[in-house]
């Protein structure tokens, strides 16, 4: 860490801990076994606040924002603490899906998974959204601003196996393809949504066939 920041790090009240202090702390080396719970528990409210405000706690990547301690393991927290953390996770992921922020949806899912939340539960939260919301979110991630013909499923490089394979299988599943295709061809679907849904279905099909020729 920057020597001056390190010397002053614990002097401000946690509510007033400057963002650049936090970012410098994330940039510094740390024990690969993780941060002590006492340190993480002290910093976590400020970290969650920064994330909720749409700021980056780390200049490296969103994905590593919560992985210095197993934040998503409920056994590490009291019942009241876990209620706060679980509620934050669900609200944050839902906001990312519905608001189509600058973050990729996959980056957000990966952030919570690296922090210890079960992957199945995170993917269930994604699938629980309406077809329209999913079509808009995935189109934004996979197709928006992309050179025609180069649209693709976005997978962050921070995934570990077997999670990376499982997530890719989720994005290219027949279940998700069917939802997008059905939405795209439904008579009551607005033209703009129909176009996006069919574009997403096309990306799913192309990516799935490329990895499994027997997809169809």
- Alpha-carbon distance of 169 to 139, in angstroms, equals 18
- Alpha-carbon distance of 95 to 210, in angstroms, equals 32
Q: Which residue has the tokens 């998700």?
A: 176
Q: Examine the pLDDT at 214 and tell me if it is beyond 60.
A: no
pLDDT tens column, 104-124: 999 999 999 999 999 999 999
The residue ranges of DSSP E strands in the chain, in sequence order, are: none
pLDDT score recorded for residue 215: 46
pLDDT tens column, 155-199: 999 999 999 999 999 999 999 999 999 999 999 999 999 999 999
The residue ranges of DSSP E strands in 47-99, in sequence order, are: none
pLDDT tens column, 182-194: 999 999 999 999 9
pLDDT tens column, 40-95: 999 999 999 999 999 999 989 999 999 999 999 999 999 999 999 999 999 999 99
pLDDT score recorded for residue 149: 85
Question: Residue 56 is encoded by which pair of tokens?
Answer: 């980056």
- Alpha-carbon distance of 169 to 173, in angstroms, equals 6
Q: Examine the pLDDT at 11 and tell me if it is beyond 60.
A: yes
- Alpha-carbon distance of 140 to 145, in angstroms, equals 8
């Amino acid at each position: 860490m920057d020597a001056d920041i390190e010397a002053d790090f614990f002097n401000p009240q946690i509510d007033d801990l400057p963002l650049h202090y936090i970012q410098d702390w994330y940039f510094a080396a740390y024990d690969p076994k993780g941060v002590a719970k006492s340190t993480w528990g002290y910093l976590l409210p400020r970290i969650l606040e920064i994330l909720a405000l749409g700021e980056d706690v780390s200049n490296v990547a969103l994905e590593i924002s919560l992985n210095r301690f197993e934040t998503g393991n409920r056994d590490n927290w009291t019942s009241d603490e876990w209620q706060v953390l679980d509620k934050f996770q669900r609200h944050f992921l839902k906001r990312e899906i519905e608001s189509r922020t600058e973050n990729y949806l996959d980056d957000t899912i990966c952030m919570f998974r690296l922090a210890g939340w079960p992957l199945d539960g995170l993917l269930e939260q994604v699938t629980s959204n309406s077809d329209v919301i999913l079509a808009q979110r995935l189109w934004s991630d996979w197709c928006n601003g992309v050179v025609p013909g180069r649209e693709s499923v976005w997978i962050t490089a921070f995934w570990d196996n077997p999670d990376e394979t499982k997530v890719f299988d989720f994005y290219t599943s027949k279940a998700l393809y069917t939802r997008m295709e059905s939405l795209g061809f439904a008579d009551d679907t607005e033209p703009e949504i129909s176009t996006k849904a069919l574009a997403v279905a096309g990306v799913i099909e192309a990516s799935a066939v490329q990895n499994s020729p027997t997809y169809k």
